[in-house]
């Protein structure tokens, strides 16, 4: 009997390893190993001896690269822009996603599948293509939107000054809204219909039912959407690169930390500093993710 129990335990353990093994292998080779390599790279710098005919020599730098980054005004300003971008983008996307998901789940909405599909379609458009399309719509002389606004006497420079931040937020919201709506809408389908019907029998209208009955029960899905959005906002790169390449905006080649890392690596050949910036971005994403997860767990326990 004992041997049979041991054999079953071994089979169960082997089954778990077989199912989880591929995930951990991919996680190690696509995340942990590159991150460890970036950390190692950030602890060194290139030193040129003499006139440099023999090429650079890798020298241990300790935390010098991190000190350089944390005192670099370009990096600090870029980080501030990304945080401001997230401060606008994250709440706006989460509120819109939750609101539209609740609207789709209400009895007042018809053709739910159609609207689900229409709202999700922008998410399948690659970020590069989406950015190009929106730059076209933001460009004077090409954009029918700007022509329509000009005919109404409203002049808007979507790519200049502080307006470019809102223009970038608009691109991100347009592309990510559908995914988050579907995420929250699927969670709403798991809300017991008996609970919803009980609220309606008690006299609660659609608005009260949505805010006081449905929304609290899908809080976990809302926090997951917020977490994904925060991480995505720190990775701002494609849209800003396309906007900067247009030559019509105030966005520079080091406007965000990701752009700074790209310039350091591929234009200045300073891979050690690029790795340092990348590690700092990852640390910032980890800290913000930890804070959001803690808040989500605390709300769930309540």
Residue 157: predicted pLDDT: 83
CA distance 234 to 79: 9
Residue 1: predicted pLDDT: 54
CA distance 271 to 250: 26
Mean pLDDT over 226-236 rounds to 90
Sequence-separated (6 or more) residues with CB below 8 Å from residue 260: 74, 75, 78, 254, 277
CA distance 261 to 241: 12
**pLDDT higher for 209 or 110?**
209
Tens of pLDDT along 124-163?
Answer: 888 888 889 999 989 888 888 888 888 887 888 888 877 8
CA distance 81 to 95: 22
CA distance 147 to 140: 8
pTM of the model: 0.86
- Quick check: 81 pLDDT over 80? yes
Residue 53: predicted pLDDT: 61
- Quick check: 171 pLDDT over 90? yes
Q: Where are the domains of the chain?
A: 34-48+57-301
Residue 204: predicted pLDDT: 76
CA distance 97 to 81: 24
- Quick check: 65 pLDDT over 70? yes
CA distance 258 to 78: 9
Residue 128: predicted pLDDT: 85
Question: In terms of CATH, what superfamily is 34-48+57-301?
Answer: MetI-like (1.10.3720.10)
Sequence-separated (6 or more) residues with CB below 8 Å from residue 267: 253
């Amino acid at each position: 009997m004992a041997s049979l129990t041991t054999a079953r335990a071994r089979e169960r353990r082997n089954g778990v390893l077989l199912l989880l093994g591929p995930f951990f292998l991919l996680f190690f080779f696509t995340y942990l190993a590159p991150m460890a390599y970036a950390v190692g790279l950030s602890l060194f710098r290139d030193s040129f001896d003499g006139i440099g005919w023999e090429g650079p020599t890798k020298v241990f730098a300790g935390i010098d690269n991190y000190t350089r980054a944390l005192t670099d005004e370009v990096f600090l300003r870029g980080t501030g822009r990304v945080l401001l971008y997230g401060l606008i983008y994250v709440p706006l996307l989460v509120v819109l996603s939750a609101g539209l998901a609740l609207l789709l789940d209400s009895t007042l909405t018809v053709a739910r599948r159609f609207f689900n599909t229409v709202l999700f379609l922008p998410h399948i458009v690659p970020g590069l293509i989406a950015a190009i399309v929106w730059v076209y719509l933001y460009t004077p002389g090409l954009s029918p939107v700007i022509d329509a606004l000009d005919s109404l006497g409203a002049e808007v420079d979507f790519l200049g000054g502080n307006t470019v931040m809102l223009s970038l937020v608009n691109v991100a919201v347009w592309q990510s809204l559908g995914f988050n709506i579907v995420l929250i809408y699927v969670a709403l389908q798991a809300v017991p219909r008996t609970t919803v019907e009980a609220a309606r029998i008690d006299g609660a209208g659609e608005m009260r039912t949505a805010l006081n009955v449905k929304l609290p029960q899908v809080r976990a899905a809302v926090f997951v959407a917020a977490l994904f959005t925060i991480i995505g906002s720190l990775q701002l790169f494609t849209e800003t690169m396309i906007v900067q390449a247009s030559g019509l905006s105030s966005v520079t080649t080091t406007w965000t930390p990701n752009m700074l890392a790209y310039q350091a690596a591929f234009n200045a050949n300073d891979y050690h500093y690029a790795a340092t910036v990348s590690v700092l971005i990852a640390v910032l994403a980890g800290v913000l993710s930890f804070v959001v997860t803690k808040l989500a767990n605390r709300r769930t326990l309540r």
